[in-house]
């Protein structure tokens, strides 16, 4: 397991807060209120470990398949339905959404090999991630991939009520490989994948998936 570069600053701040609070607790509380001082240590240590674990990148064997669309994120599948895209495709498409809890791995990965033909940040609201309106009203970043066969899909990184920072590394014109990092969402949210109508889906509602590992669909 390694730590993602997006977590360096957050972990440094968490370490400083952890050390400062416990130094003050030991100085002012350990003599007269040892149980309270112990409680401060337990709570701050748990929070520090949580921040570190949030930015973890576990060692995994990624799935590589040219005809497969790999899940771009860890989490639970919460939506599989036909919808209408007004942003890029301007028509009907199939939507598969993955909800990411704060306990999930939060690095996002390219679902396919291909060319980035669209990459756009959209400011917006911070509705809870499971609200259907979050797909179009929340802060988000959309990326469209075009494969060598000319097939396209759109991936949206969507902020939620807690997650308020989306990081995306892709720009139009970039050639990318399946399972390379596309970005990071801090502290829980969701990722939508928009596919052509009729695309065979390999996941089911409420299924737990792993980014870079689980096959979401096939072309």
97 annotated active-site: no
Indicate which residue of 97, 119, 142, 189 is catalytic. 189
Residue 196's DSSP bridge partners are none
CA Rg value for the chain: 20
Query: Residue 53 — left, alpha, or beta (φ > 0 → left; ψ -120 to 50 → alpha)?
Result: alpha
For 140-143, which contacts have Cβ atoms below 8 Å and span 24 or more sequence positions? Answer: 140/166, 141/166, 141/168, 141/183, 142/87, 142/88, 142/118, 143/116, 143/118, 143/119, 143/168, 143/170, 143/182
Angle at 166 between CA 201 and CA 20, to 5 degrees: 130
Residue 161 in contact with residue 127, Cβ under 8 Å? yes
DSSP sequence for 41-69: HHHHHHHHHHHHHHTEE--------TTEE
Query: Which has the closest alpha carbon to 100: 79, 123, 81, 77?
Result: 77
| Active site positions, annotated | 189
């Amino acid at each position: 397991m390694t730590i993602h570069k997006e977590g360096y600053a957050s972990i440094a701040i968490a370490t400083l807060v952890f050390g400062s609070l416990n130094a003050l607790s030991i100085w002012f509380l350990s003599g007269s209120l040892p149980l309270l001082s112990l409680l401060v240590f337990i709570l701050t240590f748990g929070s520090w470990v949580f921040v570190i674990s949030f930015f973890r990148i576990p060692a995994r064997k990624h799935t590589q398949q040219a005809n497969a669309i790999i899940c771009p994120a860890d989490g639970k599948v919460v939506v599989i339905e036909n919808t209408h895209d007004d942003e890029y495709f301007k028509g009907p498409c199939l939507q598969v959404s993955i909800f990411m809890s704060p306990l999930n791995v939060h690095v996002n990965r390219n679902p396919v090999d291909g060319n980035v033909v669209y990459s756009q940040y959209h400011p917006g609201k911070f509705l809870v991630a499971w609200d259907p309106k979050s797909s179009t009203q929340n802060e988000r970043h959309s990326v469209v991939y075009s494969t060598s066969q000319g097939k396209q899909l759109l991936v949206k990184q969507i902020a939620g009520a807690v997650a308020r920072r989306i990081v995306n590394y892709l720009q139009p014109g970039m050639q990318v490989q399946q399972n390379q990092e596309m970005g990071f969402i801090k502290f829980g949210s969701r990722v939508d994948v928009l596919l052509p109508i009729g695309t065979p889906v390999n996941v089911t509602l409420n299924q737990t998936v792993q980014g870079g590992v689980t096959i979401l669909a096939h072309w």
